[in-house]
A and B are shown apart, each in its own frame.
Chain A
Amino acid sequence: MSLQTQEVQEAIHKATGDVFRTMLQSDPQLNHAAVARDGFSDLSAIIGISGSISGFVAFRCPSMLAMDIAATMFGIPFSDVTSEVKDAVGEVTNMVAGRIKLELDPHGTVFSMSPPTVVSGDHELHSCGSGVLIKRSFDVKEFSFGIEFFYREDGKKRP
């Protein structure tokens, strides 16, 4: 049976909440706009996935939130998007993707994850080829951020 959109959405919500609550001491709320607003983010961290599904998990946020995340992780303030800030956002994305993987595992969906790639500045993400793109938007503190999950089912699920 195919991976259901609702299963992925629930995995994203659970994973995102767990990572922010435990590692960043904040509680993100689902933004009921249902999809991430385009143009609100200038920093994206992307993790490729490959296995019974392939695609990517992306964390998209404004620089101010990225610096806030890094400040929480490192315990010092940041006023620019330094390599430390990008590293922090990459690590958050890694944890969210890993948690999504755990949440989807009972559905027989298995995949490996690439190291995170971080893109900053004016950019857009474009998924080539056919697949399902799920975007979820969250609010935390005074910021919004998005999680994007693009996948297509390539291989056999685990029985």
Chain B
Amino acid sequence: MPFRILIVDDSMAMRKILQRVIRQAGFEQAEFLEAPNGAEGLKLFDPHSVDLILSDWNMPGMDGITFVQEARKKNRETVGTKIVPIIMITSEGGAAKFKEARLAGANNFISKPFTPEVFEQKIKETIVEQGARP
């Protein structure tokens, strides 16, 4: 089974950048699911088959924080699944945002703009911490 990554971001450009950077980070065989907002992301999120979630913060409809809370709830309520790591990505960084993301259920946080090296490090430390298969 390929490593499957759900990307939730209202910017199509950012969804494409994330896919490129993830491949550069060594996940050449990764499969991607894309959603333009939290509500669509939640529909696509199957805890049995998604290995990692990357979510934007500011999105129309369901925002990133609400999406993370709902995805965590769905993850917990789905019997027989591991905890799927979630990384939030936002241009509005800072300690307060990081804390809010953690409280919502995110495992890590990446500020935009990011270098491929930082992205690779954050993904690897997150999936190792959660025991997800790289």
Contacts and interface: CB of A to CB of B under 8 A. Distances in A.
State which size class the interface on B falls in.
Answer: 20 to 34
Contacts of B16: 73-75
Contact of A101 (B10, B11, B92): B92
A91 to B, nearest CB: 5
B19 to A, nearest CB: 9
B80 interface: no
A88 B13 CA distance: 5
Interface stretch (B40-48, B110-118, B125-133): B110-118
Contacts of B113: 18-19, 22-23, 95, 99
A95 B91 contact: yes
A133 B19 CA distance: 37
Interface string B1-23: 00000000011111011001000
B11 A90 contact: yes
A87 B9 CA distance: 12
22 contacts: A19-B113, A22-B113, A23-B112, A23-B113, A83-B12, A84-B12, A87-B12, A88-B13, A90-B13, A91-B14, A91-B17, A94-B91, A94-B112, A95-B113, A98-B91, A98-B93, A102-B93, A105-B94, A113-B92, A115-B10, A115-B58, A115-B60
Interface of A: 18-19, 22-23, 70, 73-75, 83-84, 87-88, 90-91, 94-95, 97-99, 101-102, 105, 113, 115
